[in-house]
Structure 1
Amino acid sequence: MMSSNLITEMPQNYSEKTSGPSASQNGSYATFDEFVRCLTLFICLCGMLGNGIVLWLLTFHIKRTPFSLYVLNLAGSDFTYLFLEVIWVINYLIYRPSFKNIINLLTNMGLHVTFTVGLGLLASISTQRCLSILFPIWYRNHHPKKGPMVVCGLLWILSPILNLPKVYYCVVKVEELPLSGCDTVSKLSGTLMLSMLLLMTLSSLILFIRILWSAQKYKPKKLVILILLTVLVFLVCAVPHGINHSVFNWKAMYNHIFHEISYLLSCVNSSANPFIYFFIGSLRHQRLKEPLRIVLQRALRDDSDPSEDRAASSRTDTTLDTPA
């Protein structure tokens, strides 16, 4: 939606202890910071509204499918991420420059967890769709029916366990312990994140190549386009945040403007998915006042799932529409 060392590894005022900006430079950044954080709050509130609508529709008004279960959990992680980001920004604005309290700790932990869950979900979604392209018959007949439920459950259980050491060494004890402890857990966490990121990117690249290869004969399915757009937004908006903190921790480098912009982009990533869903669902359907439930259901329709569309099970290509 969807934060490698990917959320705040250090308290915001860590730069005061490094060779970061001087007092005069900090003063010159004040106006920029205020603008970026106000814009961040606005984006977060819009994203919370969009993800809230998706959560409501998928929970109470749309029949649950394996793919919609992924989207439901992704919307939940994005909504939680944006909510915690709002609390984090407000808390920072109130308590600066002494930004060290229990709220900071809890929001840091929550932001790490929700980002890890979101990345894991996107990796699972793109990989599952890739398998349905490369091995359509096997996927239709042998893929685990409860696979999405198991994946989502494991992500929500393991993510807090994996992120607890990182938050402890890089946030709680950052001033008491040597930075080598933070570097070690950050590298371990970054390796795991990078593995999921590479899996997601490779799967999405295969999807994209398949679309180009078959574009002359078939119109690409909306679901495939939706997945590619979601992954693209993640790569553009969320990865810079991880790069920022990777460089900050491992190489003792710090760029204030890039730091703030990366936070803003991470919120754009978590806010964009609902708008992608409704945009894809409304393509080639220009009906006025069409219920959002219908639009979302159309965007998330998975023709490779026989239980959702029996007619689709007779097609040999599970990822492309028939010719117009």
Structure 2
Amino acid sequence: MMSSNLIMELSTMIPTHSEMLQNHSDQPSGNSTSHNSTNDAFDEFVRCLTLFTCICGVIGNGIVLWLLSFHIKRTPFSFYVLSLAASDFTYLFLEVIWVINYLLYRPMFQNIVNLLTNMGLHVTFTVGLGLLASISSQRCLSILFPIWYRNHHPKRGPMVVCGILWLMSLLLNPPKVYYCVVRMEELPPSGCDLMSKLSGTLMLSMLILMTLSSLILFIRVLWSAKRYKPKKLVILILLTVSVFLLCAVPHGINHSVFNWRAMYNHTFHEISYFLSCVNSSANPLIYFFIGSLKHQRLKEPLRVVLQRALRDDSDLTEDRGTSSRTDTTLDAPS
């Protein structure tokens, strides 16, 4: 009962997304009524496009979750992908709830929806960034130091890393939303500044780690492309990171400057939300695209395609017999 009262109290204090946008539009400017109606039409178009993208992404990530949970043998790398699919699925599902609530406009639920989605979106976005940083850095180590990595990397490392990422994100982001959104007008800005700096430092560190690791992987692929064919797993990681840098980083920038009204741009705000949904929706397409390269069988099960895309050659080399049996299984017609 106390938790229910707390949520209701917070939901009455948190400004809705529409109210925050209205505060920006209420600043003195020379905008006309026709310009406002153009903005409204633009908002509805982008959000309908966002809703369609999110629904497709929820379906795609749901298929990946289902296959990795029940139909594909778990490996260290596939555990990372499973966690990333869970993060993307949650992120897109929350976006679907928010967009539907906006399009239907139910004021009695608007505050509660904004409270829950703000916290959930911040948490899952941070976890997704951390997972990509972990995936790219681990693959970078396995290529630069293959013998050391094969002999010393912990088997339970992915589970530990994923647990730490979820814990840090849950510890940092809800207080950030509380101080910077819920109580923004009532409390001194020191709490918001502190949580923003902590969250921003964490995200910037993971972004730098992900970018440097991916850059090393990319250089290594170019360096050895003439002698060796690049592994599908490395190409998959580079594509996933590239899509994140192109589509998700603008969303992170938007969150960083949202409270700086002088730097706020309405069009950039709307497009960044759409691009973040494109990022989370694109990962399943990347997995199935990489898994189907040079395999043009129309009726091939998705399980086989996904398993081929996520196959970790560095682990398979430990057991030649297992590798041969796996290759035969993956390439056998169903």
Same fold (TM over 0.5): yes
Cross-structure match for 2:302? 292
Q: Structure 1 pair 124/10, CA: closer, same or farther in 2 (3 Å)?
A: farther
Q: Tell me which residue corresponds to 1:14.
A: 20
- TM-score of the two chains, using structure 1 as the length reference: 0.88
For the pair 1:156 / 2:162, whether they are aligned, the reply is no
Alignment partner of 1:104 is 2:114: yes
Change (3 A) 1:180 1:100: farther
Contact 2:16–2:114 (Cα < 8 Å) also in 1: no
Alpha-carbon offset, residue 242 of structure 1 = 1.2
Distance 1:264 1:301 in 2: 31
Alignment of 1:135-214 (within 5 A): 135-214=145-224
Would you say the 8 A contact 1:303–1:309 is kept in 2?
no
Kept in 1: contact 2:16–2:110 (CA 8 A): no
1:92 is aligned, of 93, 102, 108, to 102
Give the Cα–Cα distance (whole angstroms) in 2 for the partners of residues 249 and 80 of structure 1. 25
- Does the 8 A contact of 2:16 with 2:111 survive in 1? no
Corresponding residue number in structure 2 for 1:247:
257
The match for 2:293 is 283
Q: 1:302 & 1:127 partners in 2: Cα distance?
A: 15
Match of residue 6 from structure 1: none
1:118 alignment partner in structure 2: 128
Q: Is the deviation greater in 27-36 or in 175-184?
A: 175-184
For 2:273 and 2:109, locate their aligned partners in 1 and report how far apart those are by CA, in whole Å. 17
Give the Cα–Cα distance (whole angstroms) in 1 for the partners of residues 42 and 120 of structure 2. Answer: 26
**Residues in 1 aligned to 2:322 and 2:200: alpha-carbon distance in whole angstroms:** 40
Q: Is the 8 A contact 1:77 1:114 kept in 2?
A: yes
- Of the three residues 219, 244, 257, the one matched with 1:234 is 244
> Which residue number corresponds to residue 318 of structure 1?
none
SS in structure 2 of the partner of residue 249 of structure 1: coil
Matched to 1:277, the amino acid is Y
TM-score normalised over the length of structure 2? 0.86
Percentage of identical aligned residues: 78
| Secondary structure of residue in 1 paired with 2:314 | coil
Could you say what secondary structure the match of 1:252 adopts? helix
- Write the letter of the residue equivalent to 2:89: F
| Residue matched to 2:43 | 33
Q: Is 1:80 the counterpart of 2:86 in the alignment?
A: no
Cα pair 2:133 2:209 within 8 Å, conserved = yes
1:18-71 CA deviation, whole Å, 9 max, x = no partner? 438757343220110110000000000000110010001000100000000000
Match of 1:265 among 263, 270, 275: 275
Alignment RMSD: 2.4
Q: How many residues are treated as equivalent by the alignment?
A: 306
Unaligned runs of 5+ in 1: 1-8, 315-324
- The counterpart of 2:320, out of the listed 291, 304, 311, is 311
Kept after mapping to 2: 8 A contact 1:11/1:171: no
Match of 2:313, SS state, is coil
Structure 1 residues 37 and 192, CA gap change in structure 2 (3 angstroms): same
- Pairing partner for 1:54 from 46, 59, 64: 64
- Residues in 2 aligned to 1:43 and 1:262: alpha-carbon distance in whole angstroms: 13
Which one scores higher on RCO, CA 8 angstroms, separation ≥ 6?
Answer: 1
CA shift at 1:305, angstroms? 1.1
Deviates more, 1:246-255 or 1:279-288: 246-255
Match of 1:3 in 2: none
Q: CA deviation at 1:279?
A: 0.2
Q: Which has the higher helix share?
A: 2
Q: Which protein is bigger by CA-based radius of gyration? A: 2
- Following the alignment from structure 1 to structure 2, what is the Cα–Cα distance between the partners of residues 66 and 247? 36
> Whole-Å Cα distance in 2 between the matches of residues 116 and 254 of structure 1?
22
Using the alignment, how far apart are the partners of 1:183 and 1:35 within structure 2? Answer: 34
1:136-157 per-residue CA deviation (whole Å, 9 max, x = no partner) reads 1000000111100111112222
Aligned-pair CA distance for 1:252 = 3.3
| Unaligned 5+ runs, structure 2 | 1-14, 324-334
CA contact (8 A) 1:109 1:164 kept: yes
